[in-house]
Amino acid sequence: MWSDHMKERSPMVQRQLPKVGELLELMQFKKPELDARKRRLDAALTIADLRTIAKRRTPKAAFDYTDGAAEGELSLDRARRAFEDVEFHPDILRPAADVDTSCQILGGPSALPFGIAPTGFTRLMQTEGETAGASAAAAAGIPFTLSTLGTTSIEGVKAANPVGRNWFQLYVMKDRSISYGLVERAAKAGFDTLQFTVDTPIAGARLRDKRNGFSIPPQLTVGTIVNAIPRPWWWIDFLTTPKLEFASLSTTGGTVGELLNAAMDPTISYDDLDVIRGMWPGKIVVKGVQNVTDAARLVDLGVDGIVLSNHGGRQLDRAPIPFHLLPKVVREVGKDATVMVDTGIMNGADIVASIALGAKFTLIGRAYLYGLMAGGRQGVDRTIAILRSEIERTMTLLGVSSLDELEPRHVTQLTRLVPVADQAVDARV
């Protein structure tokens, strides 16, 4: 009956019973991975996959601090949507078998066109914190940036990344002597670039943190205890490792907003930039630029670079989208100026699109932290590996062998947000 059925289905094909030897060849079982961390990280194929793992393994308050943004989180959503709305224009019959992802940035090399952005409270997400980020950056040959609000000291990051490139992100605080001291320590430790941050005169309204009662250090409540039950590993790490505190600041008690408002100074000005430039021996970059006029003024003043950024959507909600601003700024300041971009990067294709439109470099924040929360140092390695693979694949499919070959013609920025044509309507009409 079986053979009759086969004849009816395929009269022109010769049929036979399966051979045992051929079946055995098909039955190749993969050796099980006994290392649970490696197993879950190997299964992560995208940054979104790492985010899913991170959310499962991290208490809600710590995860939401990383994942969230200000108020309605519109700035972050729009920044990510801007990258999703990229249309690429590949060239055909252009061999790009050996893709070179390396670049020169701010007087030194980077093996990839991105570095790790400054992030605060990093050991809260996973106990290895900045040490994991700095050592992973060193292994990958990319820069690592330590935040003023970091939970590992300047000297600790230098020890984790002794020969690689370390950058320091500076907040100018009400007590200027604190900021000046940090500048001196970073210079002494051999950090080669300072990111002078200008978009945080006060804290943004991070509503997830307020709703979660998020504070530094974390406070044990009924809610946090219930949330911790399925995540005992996080609490074991937290309770059996050195106390979580700022490595550069003495005050640690309170909500994130309270801490930022107590430390930051809304009177920060160009005078402060002049003072810091006079103190800093290396490259200086202004981070948090959000319009063309400011970008042009800073380049005219001779800063070594600017970072188009809205602080990951964590400060002013409805702020400009850095990726949309990028081509306008590059046209104004010239393609030779060092313009960098962050906010919303979740894929190596986002980085390729940014370089094509004139960015010299990019910075990743949440993508790095998702990897950290998913698996410590190995998770950060996985983040970098995923982005590297996506960059190389996108470049190959575009038909470009090096970053220098990427041009604006390779990218179209599609947009769902179109400015009103004429906003100067007479109210009397």
Which of the residues are catalytic?
A: 311
Rounded Cα distance between 285 and 291, Å, is: 16
Residue 294, CB half-sphere, CA atoms under 13 Å: how many?
A: 16
Enter the DSSP assignment of 100: B
Q: How many residues does the chain have?
A: 429
**Which of left, alpha, beta for 173 (phi over 0: left; psi -120 to 50: alpha)?**
beta
Strands (E), 129-244: 144-146, 166-170, 193-197, 215-216
Question: CA–CA separation, 143 vs 103, rounded Å?
Answer: 12
Please measure the distance between the N-terminal and C-terminal CA atoms of the chain and give it in whole angstroms.
85
E strand or H helix at 299: helix 292-301
SS3 (DSSP) at 255: strand
User: Contact at 8 Å (CB) between 254 and 214?
Assistant: no
CA distances from 94 to 348, 397, 408 (A): 21, 9, 18
The shares of helix, strand and coil residues in the chain, as percent rounded to the nearest 5, are 45, 15, 40
The span from the CA of 118 to the CA of 193, in Å, is 12
Q: Are 364 and 383 in contact (CB under 8 A)?
A: yes
